[in-house]
Amino acid sequence: MDFLNYAFMQRALLAAVLVGITAPAVGIYLVMRRQALMGDGIGHVAMTGVGLGFLLNTSPVWMATGVSVLGAILMELIRWYGKTRGDIALAMLFYGGMAGGVMFINLAPTGSNANLTSYLFGSLSTVSQSDVTAICLLAAFVVVVTLGLRRQLFAVSQDEEFARVTGLPVRALNLLTAVTAAVTVTVAMRVVGLLLVSALMVVPVAAAQQLSRSFTATFVIAVAIGVSVTIGGTVTSYYQNVPPGATIVLLTIGAFIALTALATPLARRRARAAAAARPAGDPVECVIPATRGAADEVGV
């Protein structure tokens, strides 16, 4: 546990835990809306923010937050108003964001593609005290939204059309989800990197689904997986000198595979338990009725 003596590792672990909580907490709503790759798109757009941060000599984290929030709002607007070829508009946003990032960072006097790499794939040793402050504030926002508005976000993500008839402000909640996802991307940027952040939003949720039957359980298990793999990945990268982002993502995928393997016998046991709970008169096997009745579903 000697790594806890280093200030940079303390900062890195704190950032890692916050990422492990926030990324799956937002990701679950994106997965529900079948927008699992939205985090990836925002990550591309955030690169322009990082580049601008270097160019204007301001904090890349706050700049990336601003640009990715704008990008996320733009994506949501395209989803509303884009009647045709919304995917083309999104593609332009993604690649424009990436190209903008590379361009700005090369124009910046202090920047080079080497700086960009630490944002693309994450770098624990470069997490500064001001980064940690920013990450804490942003993570607090994400937790307040994803937990405080969980019933509303569940309803809107589950069935948008129905949510409208319950009088929920559907558009405002959709925008809030997009903004929260954008904020999460910048929270995770320093630890797992912009190109890998989406994995931490989606894979823990997919892994949790293998075990859970309810939304609440999926949420809790996904966050637990998120925190375990971010801490595990950070510590592994300290001892083995491997990149933290890649380690975390590979661990997450490992967790997914392990839970999927576990899920099959678990489902079988649940089925047996359900069969045992049936009343005695209720046959487990199918019974073919001796005669046909009028209620049989047979086309006449």
Partner 1 sequence: MGEPVISLRGVRAELGSRPVLRGIDLTVHRGEVVALLGANGSGKSTAIRTIIGQVPVSEGEIELFGTDRARFRDWRRVGYVPQRTTAAGGVPATVTEIVTSGRLSRTRFGLLRKADHAAVRHALELVGMADRAKDSVNALSGGQHQRVLIARALAAEPELLIMDEPMAGVDLASQQVLADTLSRQVAEGTTVLLVLHELGPLEPLIDRAVVLRDGCVQHDGPPPRALGQHALPGHDHVHPHEPLHTGLLS
Q: Residue 214 — φ and ψ, nearest 5°? A: -125, 160
- Give the binding range for partner 1 (CB under 8 A) out of 17-25, 39-47, 243-251, 292-300: 292-300
Shortest CB 293 distance to partner 1, Å: 9
| Per-residue binder mask for partner 1 (CB under 8 A), 76-95, x = binder | -------x------------
User: What amino acid occupies position 65?
Assistant: T
Q: Strand, helix or coil at 297? A: coil
What the block records as the tokens of 187 is 């929270």
R_g of the chain, CA atoms, integer Å: 23
Residue at 207: amino acid letter: A
By CB under 8 A, residue 164 contacts partner 1: yes
Q: Site for partner 1 (CB under 8 A): how many residues?
A: 39
Nearer to partner 1, 202 or 255 (CB): 202
Q: Residue 218 in contact with residue 28, Cβ under 8 Å?
A: yes
Site string for partner 1, 208-247 (x = CB under 8 A): -x--xxxxxxx-----------------------------
Restricting to residues 141-160, name those near partner 1 by CB under 8 A: 149-152, 154-155, 157-159
**Rounded-to-integer distance, Cα 55 and Cα 96, Å:** 17
Asked if 48 is part of the footprint of partner 1 (rule: CB under 8 A), the reply reads no
Reported residue count of the chain is 300
Binding-site member from 2, 161, 282, 285 for partner 1 (CB under 8 A): 161
Note whether 264 binds partner 1 by CB under 8 A.
Answer: no
Q: For tokens 């080497």, name the residue.
A: 114
Q: Which stretch binds partner 1 (CB under 8 A): 52-60, 181-189, 227-235, 290-298?
A: 290-298
Q: How far is the CB of 260 from partner 1 (least distance, A)?
A: 14
3-class SS letters over 176-213: HHHHHHHHHHHHHHCCCCCCCHHHHHHHHHHHHHCCCC
Q: CA 66 to CA 269: how far, in whole Å?
A: 49
Q: Which residues bind partner 1 (CB under 8 A)?
A: 28, 31-34, 83, 149-152, 154-155, 157-159, 161-168, 205, 209, 212-218, 294-300
